[in-house]
Every structure is written in structure tokens, then in C-alpha cells.
Amino acid sequence: MDDMINRDIIKGVDALDMIGGSIAKPLVEKIASPIVGNGNFISGLSKIGIAIGIAKYAGNNRLGKSFAIGAGMDGSEDVIVAFGNKAGIHQSEQTEAGVF
């Protein structure tokens, strides 16, 4: 377990990879949620596992890194939400999109 946590999963992440990951995150969420759920501990671990698999097998190209980052972000969010729900801390209500 220590080896998996401490090793570099994605190498050489730049700003374009992060933008790509931000674009891929809702896509990963939409694709994975019907299969593994959303906002719970199991879905979070599953999506983090998917992220590790994408990073390992999709290569070190821009598309692979973007989807690995997106899946990792969504999985991490699910784990945080699950822990928050257990602690009695719920997500705030979403507001309308816009500047003000």
C-alpha cells in the first residue's frame, strides 16, 4: 500500500493537463456514476482505481493524463463527500451559474 501511495502515478503534469482533467472530470462522473455510484466511499475508491489504471495503461499522452486526472479528482471528491456525510457535514446547496 505504501508503494502505491508514494509513487508517481502521473509524470510531468502541466497546466494543459490540469485543464484537460477539469474537462474530463464531469465526463468521467457521468460515465462512471451509473456503474459505481456517486458521492459514496465505494464510488470514490473505484474512481481512484480507474484513475490509476488509466495512468498505467493509457500511456503518458495528454488524453490519458487528462482522464486519469479527471477520474482522480472525481474519486477524491466522492471520498471527501462520503466522509463528510458520515460526520454530518453535507454539501452546500448549488447555486445558479454566473458571476454574481
Residue 12: pLDDT above 90?
no
How many domains is the chain partitioned into structurally? 1
pLDDT, tens digit, for every residue of 31-63? 998 999 888 999 999 999 999 999 889 867 889
- Please indicate, yes or no, if residue 62 is contained in any of the structural domains: yes
Q: Is residue 93 part of a domain?
A: no
Could you tell me if residue 3 is inside a domain? no
Tens of pLDDT, residues 16-35: 888 999 999 999 999 998 99
Q: What share of the chain is helix, strand, coil (3-state, %, to 5)?
A: 70, 0, 30
Whether 48 is covered by a domain: the verdict is yes
Residue with cell 487528462: 66
For residue 2, being part of any structural domain is answered with no
* Model pLDDT, residue 4: 55
What is the rounded distance in angstroms from the CA atom of residue 54 to the CA atom of residue 60?
Answer: 10
pLDDT for 67-84, tens place per residue?
999 999 999 999 999 988
Residue 100 lies in a domain: no
- pLDDT reported for residue 89: 75
Inside any domain, residue 99: no
Q: Which domain holds residue 69?
A: 11-86
Q: Is residue 43 part of a domain?
A: yes
